[in-house]
Amino acid sequence: MLQMSVKVVGLDQSSMVPVVILTDADERYYLPVVIGPGEANAIAVVLEGLTAPRPLTHDLLLNTIRELGASVERVAITELKDDVFYARISLKRNGQVLELDARPSDSIALALRAGVPIFVSEQIVTQSAMIKQVEDPELEEFRAFLKDLSPDDFRK
């Protein structure tokens, strides 16, 4: 399993459907996950640091878990079957670990609220993640040169 975090949530520009982008700590891999508009909003609320006057669905879920004496330990996107992602929420109560089947979007929204890690199976990362392209060192050097360039440099 590879630990990932939410990079951004927004609309896919080609299909105009909500998508959440997960990335690893080094931002080498980017995993786009199509989600529903309600879940996109639930994730965006946390990312933007907003609070609702009343508990939203994922807030209610977290409050319920805590009131029952359990804690969210982690969430994991575990499988990809027929273009559908599957996830598991790991809860701990009285030393016992409970695993719940869940949609990735709900798992991510809950993980953000609980402050717990999000994991993705290595098979899914290999199968579906986009890999950041390594930049050409000469191109990077040229970009750095251009960044520090001013119009006055052309007059010399």
> Where does the pLDDT of residue 43 fall: very low under 50, low under 70, confident under 90, or very high at 90 and above?
very high
pLDDT of 106 above 90: yes
CA-to-CA separations, 52 to 8, 33, 145, in angstroms, rounded: 20, 25, 47
Classify residue 64 by its DSSP letter: H
Specify the pLDDT at position 98.
97
Separation CA 27–CA 45 (nearest Å): 23
φ and ψ of 92, to 5 deg: -125, 130
Q: Are 104 and 21 in contact (CB under 8 A)?
A: no
pLDDT of 58 above 90: yes
Indicate the helix (H) or strand (E) that contains 136: none
Query: In the chain, what percentage of residues exceed pLDDT 90?
Result: 74
Average pLDDT over residues 61-72: 98
Please report, for the chain, the start and end positions of each structural domain, with discontinuous segments joined by +: 2-155
pLDDT of 154 above 60: no
Distance of CA 153 to the CA centre of its chain: 43
Classify residue 154 by its DSSP letter: G
φ and ψ of 77, to 5 deg: -90, 115
- Give the mean pLDDT of the chain: 90
pLDDT of 156 above 60: no
Q: Are 129 and 14 in contact (CB under 8 A)?
A: no
Specify the pLDDT at position 132.
73
Residue with the larger pLDDT of the pair 12 and 84: 84
Q: Which residues of 136-153 are buried (b: 16+ CB within 10 A; e: fewer)?
A: eeeeeeeeeeeeeeeeee
pTM beyond 0.85, yes or no: no
Specify the pLDDT at position 142.
62
AA letter at 141: E
Give per-residue pLDDT as tens, 109-134. Answer: 999 999 999 999 999 999 988 887 66
Indicate the helix (H) or strand (E) that contains 30: strand 29-34
Fold of 2-155: Bifunctional nuclease domain (3.10.690)
Specify the pLDDT at position 12.
87
CA-to-CA separations, 143 to 47, 69, 146, 147, 151, in angstroms, rounded: 31, 54, 5, 6, 16
